[in-house]
Amino acid sequence: MSHLSLVTRHLSLVTRHLSHVTRDCIWVILALLATACESIAMPTSVPATYTPIATRAVETSASPPVLVAFPTAAPASPTLIPPTVPLGISVPTAPPSPRAPSSAPIVQVVSPLANGQVSINQTVYVVAYAADDQGITRIELSDDGNSVRTENAPTPAPQIFSAIIPWTPTQTGTHVLRVVAFDTDNRASAPDEVSVSVILDARRPTANIVYPIGTPQVEFGSVLQIHGIATDEVGVTQVDLWVDNQLYTYVTSQDANGQSPRAVQVIFAWSALTPGSHTLFLRAHDTQDQTTDSGPLKVLVANPHIPELSLTFERTSALVNEPITVTITALDASGIARVELRSGKDIVSTINSGNPARQTALTTQVIWQSAYPGDYQLVARAHNASGNSKESPAQTISILRPGQPTPTSAPMPTPTRTRAPRAPATPTRQPPPPPSAEIVQPADHFSAPSPLRVTFSGRANAELDRIELWGYYQGQPNPQVVCVVDAHATTQKTGQCEWSPPSVGVVFLFAQAVDVYRQFGRSTPISGYVGVPLLPTPAPTPPSLTGRWSAEIPNAQYVAMLRQTGTALRGDFKIVGTGTPVADIEGRVTSGTLRGDRVTFHVDLVPPGSPTTILTPSITVTTAVAPTTTPTTAANLTSALDFDCAVDTNMTTLVCAFKDSRGRGGNIVFQRD
């Protein structure tokens, strides 16, 4: 009998004998319903806390008793529609299965390390790591029990969560940083903590000048921009610019606690108003008023200007010993050091300034007279504070004897000009279209170091007169001409110029072409960024000849101990006799130079006091031959040798031609030992 027919039969019995069914029978029917519903999965195993209902016999008056057996497992395949539960019967809800208890989350402080040191007011980032099988919702950080910050995890809650929490200590001493993690059930983890020592700012700030580099040279009166960077682990409060050990200017932090510990950039504008060499440096201050100076920057201020000068006389003629008042006026923005009145090569009078740097104008009067008649050429000369000078045109002063008439200059004849007949007017030709110009390089929105190299061109239907490059930077009211290239009456011209703007930043460029009809054509402007100049390419280090060099000749050996500094050579020299007994001769390399693959050096010999023989190779073309032995006397004594050598690529051989102090020469080959 199938399960469905069995369920149907028992339902009819329940309906017929409902009044005789006890409460236990109702539970039997419900159990039968659960068994008959094949689509509802039954557990394969019964929980330990569940007590199954025992099998009971249901008696009816019309049929024999039927035994109902409860299956231990639900069938696998059939899916049947469950029967409808009769009205009036309440179906009890099965108790939920209890969840196995889960463990609490775990948390760990990754940074900072235990017993580490940080400075007061320095922001420290606390890194914490937490994990839980149900998910992490947040991590809380506290400092000595005081809450610092809570970092919430994203939704849905991840099983693994790491947080980076900033903490800025405001008090010195030992601080205990504690982190606690919470899961989705708001269960807290066991806390993890580290001890950190907070100390005063013991590290000084840093300061550096990043532009300009090297030893820049600027014109007198120009403005030089100084770019610098200052850093400190806590905060930079002030950066000073010092010029020649005097505070020039400074900038302060807008934050009372100082700037961020990251690099702080500053730009100072220094006016070069004093010619000569100047030393500049930056000084950085931190929150503890600790200071550090940058490296010095040497700046040369050149004054190419010469003073303005005028010379006037009370009169240009006078009698013997009659005084003449001479007025001299000198002007220069850099300052006037002195003025002089000269008569020929003689200095008649000198007027010195009490403060040349501030004496921008100097006017003086000098009394000049002469006891001898004649014509005198008087000039004035002015010297400015930078050492430049200017001389006025010579003025002739006549000194007369008593009774001598005053010389008068002959009147200059008035030139007459005969006007040429006017040429007949010719109809004016219509000029061609105006020229065009373009910037070939760089492209628009460029970025390049200073100096900026620009290639530009112009083209016209008529002959070109010139092409021009114009440039300006932000804040400059009017563009400036960078360079002009003569077109030499061509119809197409290309030029190249270099431009060094006064400061780094955004610049604008355009080209302009001008033809012989004075028509202008302008290119489309381009813009870009000009940065600091590139570092100079280091010069290649010259090869070194330092070491011991020796040359063998019959009966003697030449030994040179060379020392090289840059391209200069110095050292010791020795001639050692190996044949006929002779005394060794000492010497010194007093001068020498390395130029490419050629070496020249001069040797001063110091022969011994007793008469001896100096061995020198005979004159030869390719190899050294047997030397000639000559007794040493005052007439034939060799006191110096000059060598001119070729160096091989491996720097191991010197093939030399030489001459001694008596003009005798030869060839010799030195090998590096």
Which three-class secondary structure string do you get for 260-281? CCCCEEEEEEEECCCCEEEEEE
Edge-to-edge strand order for the sheet containing 124-131?
A: 106-111, 124-131, 160-167
Q: Residue 522: CB partners within 8 Å, gap ≥ 6?
A: 437, 510, 511, 512
Q: What pLDDT is recorded for position 56? A: 41
CATH match for 106-199 among 3.40.190.10, 2.60.40.10, 3.60.20.10, 3.30.420.40: 2.60.40.10
- Is 2.40.128 the CATH number for 547-672? yes
- pTM flag (> 0.75): no
Q: How far apart are CA 575 and CA 586, in angstroms?
A: 7
Kindly state the helix (H) or strand (E) to which residue 66 belongs, with its residue range: strand 66-67
Distance CA 179, CA 127 (A): 10
> 396 has which bridge partners?
377
CATH superfamily of 436-531: SOR catalytic domain (2.60.40.730)
Token pair, residue 48, equals: 């330990």
Measuring CA to CA, which residue among 13, 35, 38 is closest to residue 25?
A: 13
C-beta of residue 227 within 8 angstroms of C-beta of residue 211: yes
The CB density around residue 438, as the number of other CB atoms within 10 Å, is: 18
Helix (H, G, I), strand (E, B) or coil at 94: coil
pLDDT at residue 519 in the model: 86
Give me the residue label for tokens 């000849």. 545
Contact call for residues 510 and 438 (beta carbons, < 8 A): no
CA distance 62 to 265: 106
164: left (phi over 0), alpha (psi -120 to 50) or beta: beta
Domain ranges of the chain: 1-95, 106-199, 206-302, 308-400, 436-531, 547-672
- 10 CB neighbour count, 10 Å cutoff: 19
Maximum pairwise Cα distance, the chain: 185
Residue whose tokens read 């489309």: 524
d(CA 343, CA 326): 12
Q: What distance in Å separates the CA atoms of residue 130 and residue 536, rounded to the nearest whole number?
A: 53
* DSSP run (H or E) holding 11: helix 3-16
Mean pLDDT by 10 residues, the chain (673 residues): 48 50 49 48 42 40 41 41 44 47 84 84 87 92 92 91 90 92 92 89 83 87 88 81 88 59 79 86 85 92 79 87 90 85 88 85 88 90 85 89 69 59 57 90 89 92 89 74 85 89 84 87 91 64 81 85 85 78 77 86 72 43 37 53 87 88 85 88
Instruction: Say if 206-302 and 436-531 have the same CATH topology.
Output: yes
Task: Write the CATH number of the domain with boundaries 308-400.
Answer: 2.60.40.10
| Residue 396, token pair as written in the block | 């002739």
- Cα 112–chain centre separation: 32
Return the sign of the alpha-carbon dihedral for residues 333, 337, 342, 345.
Answer: negative
Residue 258 CB neighbour total at 10 angstroms? 22
Q: Cα 153 from chain centroid?
A: 41
- Distance CA(210)–CA(214), nearest Å, equals 10
Q: Where are the alpha helices (DSSP H) in 71-183?
A: none
Give pLDDT, residue 454. Answer: 94
Helix, strand, coil shares of the chain as percentages rounded to 5?
5, 50, 45
pLDDT at 64: 44
| CA atoms of 144 and 163, how far apart (whole Å) | 19
Residue type present at position 128: A
pLDDT score at 478:
67
- State the DSSP H helix or E strand holding residue 4, giving kind and residue range, or none if neither: helix 3-16
What pLDDT is attached to residue 582? 53
What is d(CA 245, CA 467) in angstroms, rounded to the nearest whole number? 47
**CB 499 within 8 Å of CB 471:** yes
Can the peptide bond before residue 442 be classed as cis, meaning omega within 30 degrees of 0?
yes
- Beta pairing, strands 116-119 & 192-199: parallel
- Which residues is 467 bridged to in the sheet? 485, 513
Q: What pLDDT, on the 0 to 100 scale, is given for residue 192?
A: 94
CATH no. for 206-302: 2.60.40.10
Angle, helices 3-16 vs 23-36, to 10°: value is: 160
What length does the chain have? 673
Q: Are 279 and 297 in contact (CB under 8 A)?
A: yes
Q: Measuring CA to CA, which residue among 10, 262, 7, 26 is closest to residue 122?
A: 262
